[in-house]
Structure formats: structure tokens, C-alpha cells
Structure 1
Amino acid sequence: MVKKFTLTVNDHEYELINKWKADFNLSSIFRDAVLEKISVKERIENETATAIDFFKLIERLQKEKNENNEYIFTIAVKDATKWVSTAKYQDLIYLETWKPPYDGTEINTKKLITDPTLGSYFKQIIQRNSEMAASLNSKYLNNCAKTWFNIWSQSVSQCWKDIKAKL
């Protein structure tokens, strides 16, 4: 059974094709070009599937991801406890009502690092870590920096809650 496809082209392409359509079998050209692309894609898919042990690759990458997440967690908690232990009382009070500079669900990097009270601290932290430093050139924190920030925020809040209860 024969099925039809619609080919969309711009005005200029339409004029050219229309001008020369009597000289070409457009269906055959389209079919051959698409089948060639599909053939290449299938060959790549098949050869990469046999060349790579996906189970081992996924296992290794999952381990690396977990190690990276553990590393980020560890440094974020360490940074948070260090910050709380050296923070001024006014900074801790400021942090209680401070709202991170979210644009929707993303944290705005420029607004974060220019905050009058916490900005220089966040900028210093982001600069010291090569993965997070890439955020300085983007509008929003990257995943590494965002993960660090979220863990840091939770850790600082918990530390301050514990300290404040005893003041």
C-alpha cells in the first residue's frame, strides 16, 4: 500500500522545485534521500550498541554521579557550618527573611552574587569550584551550583534554627 507524505518548503524552494519538477521524479528523490538518512542512523545505532557495553557504562556513570552528588553535599554542608560559625548576628537575621533570587524555578546568578549582604560570599564560593564557576557566565545557576545552594540553604537554616532556640 502506498502512503503519502507532505513536504514543506519555503517560497523560493517551491518556485525552484516547481520549475524543474518535470525533469525529476520528486517522490523517488525524496524516498531515496530519506531512506539513506535512515540507513545511516540505524547503522550508527547498531554499531554503537554493539561497541559499547551499556550496562557497564550506565553503572560507571551512575557511580560517578553519586560520588559527585556526595561531594557537592559534603562541601555544601561544610561551607554552611563554616559560614554560620563566622556569620554576624545581623547576617543570620537577614538570612531568616531573605528570599533567593528565583526567576520562576531558576536562581538568577547575577542577582545572587550582587546581593548586598550575601553576594560576595556566594561569588567567592562559586568561583572556587570549577563546575560551579561556569554559572558566572550564565543567567542562571547550573545544576552543580543549584544543588550546592539548596543544600547550603537547608544546612544554614537548620543550624540557625538550632542556635536560635538556645539564644
Structure 2
Amino acid sequence: MQPFENVDIGGPAQPLLRVSKLVKHFHTGARKGKDVVQAVDGVSFDVIKGETLGVVGESGCGKSTTARLLMQLLTQDSGELVFDGQEVGSSRLPMKEYRRQVQMVFQDSYASLNPRMTMEESIAFGQRVHGISQKEARDYARYLLAHVGLEPGRFAHRYPHALSGGQR
């Protein structure tokens, strides 16, 4: 597979992400079974290819925990995640491959970026972690900047503090 190549494994009718009966409970007390916070309790939804999904709710309702479960930063107690027809974490879709294809965007854009790295370096960092050459990673970072309307010649070498919240 070429770097940055998107492969549609399941075809256009296959949901990109299927979340089924996702559960995550946290035990807060010393006694097992007592003092349980039901952070996520049976969440199910599909995200169709090309669709954007927004998750809204009051503070403490489980939005951030759900996002962490989707990224597998937390392990669910039960439930299933299927990405493009393949179970996340299975031999067909190991975590490293899954994480190459998903990304979490945090609410606080300034805190999400390394203040000591330029925008180009920050964007290229993930590609470098996955073994892409420095030149290819920087070229891709510039492509992405242009793709979201930030002219690479003007924005690639800026630091996060030099951009507006929307640009970040």
C-alpha cells in the first residue's frame, strides 16, 4: 500500500464505522461492583462514508469517553467497533493500521498542537511516526494545508500561536 492511499475495503455501501452496544463503566470505590459510573452504556451508531457525525450532550454524559473508546485509548467493557467491514483490533485490522486511518480532534485546538513545532512539522509528525520519509511527510503536510485553504507558503512555517483558533 502506498503512503496516504485510501482503500475502500468494504465498498461504498459498507458503513465506514459501525459502533455496536459500546459499554464502558468505571469502578470508583474499593468494593468491586459498588460505586460504578456508567460512562457509556450501550451506545450504537453507524457513520456512512462521506458523512460527518457530531456528538452533543451535557457535561458528563460520556462524549469524551466515547471518543476515547473509538480511538481505543480506552478499552471497552463490551461492544464492537467495525471499521470499513473489519473489526478493530482483529488480525484483519490491527491497531497500528486502524490508527493510521483515524484521528481525534480535540476541542482546544491550541492545546492539541506542540507550541515548539511549526504547522508543517506538527502535521508531518504523524506520518513520520508511521515510517514515511521526511520529504514525503512534509509534502503531504503542505498538501493538507492547501486542502483546508491554508496556503503552505504562508502557513507551513508558522507556529500555533501565530494562527487564529479557526486556522488551528
Please classify the TM superposition score into its range, dividing by the shorter chain length: under 0.3
Relative to its length, the structure with more helix (as a share) is 1
Relative to its length, the structure with more strand (as a share) is 2
Give the structure, 1 or 2, with the largest relative contact order (CA under 8 Å, sep 6 or more).
1
Q: TM-score, normalised by structure 1?
A: 0.23
Q: TM-score, normalised by structure 2?
A: 0.23
The structure whose Rg is larger is: 1
